[in-house]
């Protein structure tokens, strides 16, 4: 099944392309409604269903769902505050042989939201807002068809009072809102209903589970990757990154510090040589700079030394606040991955004169301005690759919102980068390993506990 993630305009173009090839809009609606009805029937398990139908084609999908369920023997009720306003939705309404109520108390065990699908651009008001409020307050199992009504498909922003669904059934293709906050947090489980569209959008996709491999039989520590972690003013953050990196696949992790930390693990190599000298080692596969670096002149000098070195690099945390266009003069940006959270992303956009609204636009604008891979991390994570691709990710554990979690992620990504040298691939692998390590760590973990679970997460993807 396709992993393409479409904008509203791209989804409409895909549907128009299907219709230009001879598939009618009614046939697409039948495919969508019947496919969604299969999921609704599984959830219902014989229990009664109420379908809320709006005036457009999402409402038409709802009528098809309701008729498909009715024919299968389920008790179905449709609530539609207004009549259909499109020809295809009207045909769907005429094909439904059950009762339609203008208003009703929502008491059935299964509720299905087909009020507004993708493409909503104005605030939900009046009787539809009241119906959605009742829908949201219900204790029934709630299913959204395509996207929850009130969520903007391209941004994930709400145009209605937010509510929580248990299941969201994406029709035809994933939309950006399925993977962007705040909307994605309200969708529950998400499933894709294939309606036979030809989706030629390999440049914007949902990340698929990576398949990692064990070291080759003749591997040694340098072939697996030597990672240099550049320390700075604060020792804790780079040590956390090292702890994660040592468990994420690199064969050799070396901490480059002005002084030996008192609490470093015995299996971590620490070098106190001058940074330029230490980074001249041609065996270094990747560098990590930023965690605990500080933001003074000494930190800026250490960052400049990293940028002047030839190896691939992950730049995170404090270092992101020091970057500017002058520092990238003469640097091969394609070998670098930046890993900003929301505040760091905004600071980078200001430093590089990128004017954009929203995480996707900021990440892609910054990518275009600098030429690096940009992993815009957070409760929703987006990867803008240097080659122009854009990747969305399934949402990770909310327990990752803990101090030091970003240092662990940076260490994982840098470890993967040291092994193969592909910044975008390393970032994608890092997000998956980070997320699964959180699942293994359990609730309310510390960053050090998260780092300790990275090797078990790695085993899951081998």
Question: Does residue 216 lie in a domain region?
Answer: no
pLDDT surpassing 80 at residue 1: no
Residue 172 annotated in ligand binding: no
Both 178 and 248 in one domain: the answer is: no
CATH of the domain at 22: 3.40.50.10260
The verdict on whether residue 380 carries a ligand-binding annotation is yes
Of 436, 416, 359, the residue nearest 183 (C-alpha): 359
Please indicate, yes or no, if residue 97 is contained in any of the structural domains.
yes
Residue 188 marked as a ligand binder: no
**Mean per-residue pLDDT of the chain:** 96
pLDDT tens digits along 122-139: 999 999 999 999 999 999
Asked if residue 327 lies in contact with residue 333, where contact means CB atoms within 8 angstroms, the answer is no
Average pLDDT over residues 392-421: 97
* Average pLDDT of the segment spanning 162-167: 96
The reply to whether 70 and 37 lie within a common domain is yes
- Does position 420 have pLDDT exceeding 90, yes or no? yes
> Is residue 208 marked as binding?
no
Q: Based on the domain organization, do 166 and 232 belong to the same domain? A: no
pLDDT at 260: 83
Full domain range(s) for residue 40 = 5-205
Q: Is 123 annotated as a binding residue?
A: yes
pLDDT per residue as tens digits for the range 207-265: 999 999 999 988 899 889 999 999 998 989 999 999 999 999 999 999 999 988 878 88
Whole-number Å distance between alpha carbons of 314 and 375:
10
Alpha-carbon span 228 to 242, nearest angstrom:
9
379 labelled as ligand-binding?
yes
Residue 53 lies in a domain: yes
Same-domain status, 246 and 166: no
- 212 within a domain of the structure (yes/no): no
Q: Are residues 180 and 249 in the same domain?
A: no
CATH classification at residue 439: 3.40.1190.20
Do 337 and 201 share a structural domain? no
Q: Residue 61 annotated as binding?
A: yes
Alpha-carbon span 354 to 361, nearest angstrom: 9
Q: How many domains does the chain have?
A: 2
Q: Is 58 annotated as a binding residue?
A: yes
Note whether residue 210 is domain-resident.
no
Assigned token pair, 426: 């390393």
Which residue, chain included where needed, has tokens 């204790």? Answer: 139
| Pair 185, 318 in one domain | no
Last residue of a domain, one of 150, 175, 205: 205
Q: Is residue 214 part of a domain?
A: no
Q: Are residues 293 and 434 in the same domain?
A: yes
On whether 120 is known to bind a ligand per the annotation, the reply is: yes
pLDDT in the model for residue 278: 93
For residues 194 and 245, state if they share a domain.
Answer: no
Pair 246, 333 in one domain: yes
Residue 108 marked in a binding site: no
- Give domain status of residue 211, yes or no: no
Q: Is 2 part of any known ligand binding site? A: no
pLDDT of amino acid 259:
86
- Arithmetic mean of pLDDT, 164-176: 97
100 and 20 fall within a common domain: yes
- Residue 53 to residue 408: CA distance in whole angstroms: 46
Render pLDDT for 331-353 as a digit per residue (tens, 0 to 9): 999 999 999 999 999 999 999 99
pLDDT at 261 (0 to 100): 82
Could you say which of 175, 205, 235 is where a domain stops? 205
Let me know if residue 282 belongs to a domain: yes
Q: Does 292 belong to an annotated binding site?
A: yes
Residues 196, 298 within the same domain: no
Q: Is 122 one of the annotated binding-site residues?
A: yes
Q: Does 455 count as an annotated binding residue?
A: no
Q: For residue 29, what pLDDT is reported?
A: 97
442 is in an annotated binding site: no
Q: Would you say 358 is a known binding-site residue?
A: no
- Band (pLDDT 50/70/90 cuts) for residue 28 is very high
Q: pLDDT confidence of 268, banded at 50, 70, 90?
A: very high
């Amino acid at each position: 099944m396709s992993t393409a993630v479409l904008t509203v305009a791209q989804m409409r173009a895909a549907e128009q392309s299907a219709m230009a090839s001879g598939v009618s809009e009614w046939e697409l609606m039948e495919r969508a409604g019947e496919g969604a009805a299969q999921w609704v029937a599984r959830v219902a398990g014989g229990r009664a269903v109420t379908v809320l139908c709006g005036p457009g084609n999402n409402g038409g999908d709802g009528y098809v769902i309701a008729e498909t369920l009715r024919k299968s023997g389920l008790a179905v009720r449709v609530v539609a505050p207004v009549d259909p306003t499109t020809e295809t939705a009207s045909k769907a309404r005429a094909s439904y042989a059950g009762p339609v109520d203008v208003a009703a108390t929502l008491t059935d065990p299964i509720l299905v939201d087909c009020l507004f699908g993708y493409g909503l651009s104005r605030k939900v008001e009046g009787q539809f807002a009241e119906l959605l409020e009742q829908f949201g307050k219900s204790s029934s199992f709630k299913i959204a068809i395509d996207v929850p009504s009130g969520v903007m498909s391209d941004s994930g922003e709400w145009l209605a009072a937010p509510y929580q669904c248990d299941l969201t059934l994406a029709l035809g293709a994933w939309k950006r809102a399925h993977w962007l906050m705040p909307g994605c947090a309200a969708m529950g489980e998400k499933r894709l209903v294939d309606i036979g569209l030809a989706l030629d959008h390999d440049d914007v996709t949902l990340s698929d589970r990576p398949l990692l491999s064990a070291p080759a039989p003749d591997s040694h520590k340098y072939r697996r990757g030597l990672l240099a972690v550049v320390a700075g003013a604060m020792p804790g953050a780079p040590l956390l990154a090292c702890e994660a990196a040592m468990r994420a696949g690199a064969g050799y992790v070396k901490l480059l510090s002005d002084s030996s930390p008192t609490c470093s693990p015995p299996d971590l190599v620490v070098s106190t040589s001058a940074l330029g000298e230490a980074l001249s080692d041609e065996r270094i596969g990747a560098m990590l700079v930023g965690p605990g670096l500080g933001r003074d002149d000494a930190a800026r000098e250490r960052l400049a030394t990293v940028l002047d070195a030839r190896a691939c690099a992950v730049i995170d945390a404090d270092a992101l606040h020091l970057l500017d266009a002058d520092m990238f003069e003469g640097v091969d940006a394609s070998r670098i991955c930046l890993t900003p959270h929301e505040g760091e992303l905004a600071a980078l956009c200001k430093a590089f004169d990128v004017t954009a609204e929203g995480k996707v636009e900021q990440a892609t604008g910054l990518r275009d301005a600098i030429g690096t891979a940009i992993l815009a991390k957070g409760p929703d994570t987006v990867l803008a690759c240097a080659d122009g691709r854009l990747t969305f990710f399934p949402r990770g554990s909310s327990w990752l919102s803990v101090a030091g979690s970003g240092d662990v992620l940076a260490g994982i990504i840098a470890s993967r980068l040291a092994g193969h040298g592909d910044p975008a691939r390393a970032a994608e692998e890092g997000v998956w390993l980070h997320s699964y390590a959180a699942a293994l760590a359990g609730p309310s973990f510390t960053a050090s506990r998260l780092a300790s679970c990275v090797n078990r997460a790695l085993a899951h993807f081998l």
